[in-house]
Amino acid sequence: MSIFELDITPEALEEAVRALPPSMARLREDLSRLRRDIAEGRPQGVERQHALGKLTARERLDVLLDEGSFVELEMLRRHRAQGLGMDRQRPHTDGVVAGSGTVEGRRVFVYAQDFTVFGGSLGEAHALKIQKVMELALSTGSPFIGLNDSGGARIQEGVMSLNGYGGIFQRFVQASGVIPQISVVLGPCAGGAAYSTALADFTFMAGDTSQLYLTGPDVVEAVTGERVTHAELGGAQVHGGKSGLATFVHDDEESCLLAVRDLLSMLPSNNLGRPPALPPQGATADLRPRLAEIVPAEPHKLYDMRLVMAEIVDDGDYLEVHHGWARNVICALARIDGEVVGVVANQPMVLAGVLDASAAQKAARFVRFCDAFSIPLVTLVDVPGFLPGKDQEHAGVIRHGAKLLYAYCEATVPRISVVIRKAYGGAYIVMDSRSIGTDLALAWPTNEIAVMGAEGAVNVIHRRRLAAAADPAAERAELLEQYRQELIHPTYTAERGLVDDVIDPAETRAALARGLAMLRDKRKHPAPRKHGNVPL
């Protein structure tokens, strides 16, 4: 039993204290007073933090964790640096509050950098505290959360601060794919500290006070001559919409920390467990006729894929990652009949739903996360292809597209794909087609699965015939109808075994729920066999 779980009544504790020798009682009182002073912080530092519109480290932990659950580790830790005035400033905690608590009753390990102490800068002792909670998170199979608010490496401690960052990054990599890792940026996060966000599974940023960059505006101006603000260089909107580094962006700290709790409710504690399930909702018999109204039958008409997702998942509720970045593909965590799933979907409202370098990169990382943590994958397909052009080729669209292809090919979790309308060319293949291993391939009657759309195909195949036709428009119309009837009619791929079933759109939620139930016990590898049972 942990010492933190001992059932000691206040009366018994008071009696034990009275029995202590006077000198021991005084030491206990002194220690209690010291702990209280540390927890309260320096008033001027707390006031400064509040004046900046920020919570203190301990206030943040109060929002994030279940009430009264936090157990602090190494509260009395102090640095041992010499020189540059450091021997005269040795505050306890060394600028980071570290320990463990619970979120909805589930164990997590966490650190919160304290900007009121040395600006939250990272020195040797500071880094060792973070490394300790990371090791405990890994050894106990618990999620790890870092609340970042730091000016970066502590210059006065020289190379030891850099060494501390290296140790933290190494532990991020060791824990990757084993426990969920979440970084929350609630103030400056500069220099080496920025890599702790890139290595995490999910990164949250909050409001105008969070900044994330390798080099600050002063250095940028000194080196390049460009004048830029903190927000323009590395604000939440920049990383949420342009760089893709921020998975979630929120207006303020409280909503950001509450969103971390929401995310954890959909994640397993480690890669050996399953995500928390809720009671089934009877989805296996739930028909949604509105789906046929949401999606136009014509392949070139736009619609919002989020409306389709809302009809398919439980209560219309899903948690979208990277909402502002690469918006032509949607990645989200949701539940279907109580079970957590990862949804990857093309978004026709943005760039007609084409895949480009950023979209492929975004989806690939999400697929790999879901596979690492046993979260089944549902892929909703309506994709006209990869975005053509010089810019995309130079941006490495082939390389990024291969990432998505590789991620799906390697994934061993249950996988179901639904072709809603068009699925053309290489984009059809990489969006979890039967050929790369999806377990269950479904399609709506509006599906068009082909190398390219009818118009493009007719232009290539019958170029000379159209050029010589007396009435090119009539000839084109006839050839288009012939192509559609012969190569992209609704049951073409089903007849060839590339689609398991062509379903009524209203049955999509029910078909997915039945499919997920069927695949729930899918194994990564077949069960080992000692020998077969030969007919003797």
The rounded distance, in Å, linking the Cα atoms of 110 and 147 is 8
> Tens digit of pLDDT for each residue in 103-119?
999 999 999 999 988 88
> Tens digit of pLDDT for each residue in 417-464?
999 999 999 999 999 999 999 999 999 999 989 887 767 776 777 778
Both tokens assigned to 189: 């996060």
The rounded distance, in Å, linking the Cα atoms of 403 and 425 is 17
- Annotated active-site residue in 164, 191, 353, 385: 191
- From 264, 297, 327, the end of a domain falls on 264
User: Looking at the domain assignment, is residue 104 inside a domain?
Assistant: yes
Which H or E run contains 46? helix 43-51
- Which amino acid does the sequence have at 181? Q
pLDDT at 3: 43
Based on the domain organization, do 301 and 233 belong to the same domain?
A: no
Question: Domain total for the chain?
Answer: 2
Both tokens assigned to 267: 């994640």
The rounded distance, in Å, linking the Cα atoms of 373 and 264 is 12
Residue 122 binned pLDDT confidence (cut-offs 50, 70, 90): confident
User: Looking at the domain assignment, is residue 170 inside a domain?
Assistant: yes
Based on the domain organization, do 54 and 192 belong to the same domain?
A: yes
Based on the domain organization, do 249 and 290 belong to the same domain?
A: no
User: Looking at the domain assignment, is residue 163 inside a domain?
Assistant: yes
Q: What are the residues facing 204 on neighbouring strands?
A: 184, 248
- Annotated active-site residue in 41, 101, 152, 192: 192
The b-or-e profile of 219-229 (16+ CB within 10 A means b, else e) is ebeeeeeeeee
pLDDT at 45: 82
Based on the domain organization, do 294 and 227 belong to the same domain?
A: no
Burial class (CB in 10 A: 0-12, 13-18, 19+), 345: buried
In the annotation, is 192 catalytic?
A: yes
Pairing of strands 377-383, 339-346: parallel
Burial class (CB in 10 A: 0-12, 13-18, 19+), 250: buried
In the annotation, is 25 catalytic?
A: no
- Residue of 159 and 288 predicted with greater confidence: 288
Inform me whether the pLDDT recorded for 311 exceeds 90. Answer: yes
Based on the domain organization, do 497 and 371 belong to the same domain?
A: yes
Residue in 399, 332, 319 with CA at minimum distance from that of residue 363: 332
Ranges 25-29, 246-250, 384-388: which has the least confidence: 25-29
pLDDT at 123: 87
DSSP string of 386-415?
A: BPPSHHHHHTTHHHHHHHHHHHHHH--S-E
pLDDT at 1: 42
Based on the domain organization, do 103 and 133 belong to the same domain?
A: yes
Based on the domain organization, do 205 and 350 belong to the same domain?
A: no
User: Looking at the domain assignment, is residue 5 inside a domain?
Assistant: no
- Annotated active-site residue in 153, 352, 427, 443: 427
User: Looking at the domain assignment, is residue 402 inside a domain?
Assistant: yes
pLDDT at 14: 67
Report, as an integer, the average pLDDT of 286-291: 96
Based on the domain organization, do 367 and 498 belong to the same domain?
A: yes
The rounded distance, in Å, linking the Cα atoms of 194 and 233 is 13
Contacts of 446 (CB under 8 A, 6+ apart): 295, 297, 299, 420, 421, 490, 505
Give the domain range for residue 423: 283-453+488-519
User: Looking at the domain assignment, is residue 212 inside a domain?
Assistant: yes
Q: What is the 3-state secondary structure (H, E, C) of 129-192?
A: HHHHHHHHHHHHCCCEEEEEEECCECHHHCHHHHHHHHHHHHHHHHHCCCCCEEEEEEEEEEHH
In the annotation, is 292 catalytic?
A: no
Reported pTM = 0.89
- Annotated active-site residue in 45, 141, 244, 426: 426
pLDDT at 525: 79
Based on the domain organization, do 337 and 392 belong to the same domain?
A: yes
Based on the domain organization, do 289 and 155 belong to the same domain?
A: no
pLDDT at 25: 67
CATH number of the domain encompassing residue 387: 3.90.226.10
The rounded distance, in Å, linking the Cα atoms of 24 and 30 is 10
Based on the domain organization, do 256 and 360 belong to the same domain?
A: no
User: Looking at the domain assignment, is residue 32 inside a domain?
Assistant: no
Based on the domain organization, do 231 and 300 belong to the same domain?
A: no
In the annotation, is 141 catalytic?
A: no
User: Looking at the domain assignment, is residue 277 inside a domain?
Assistant: no
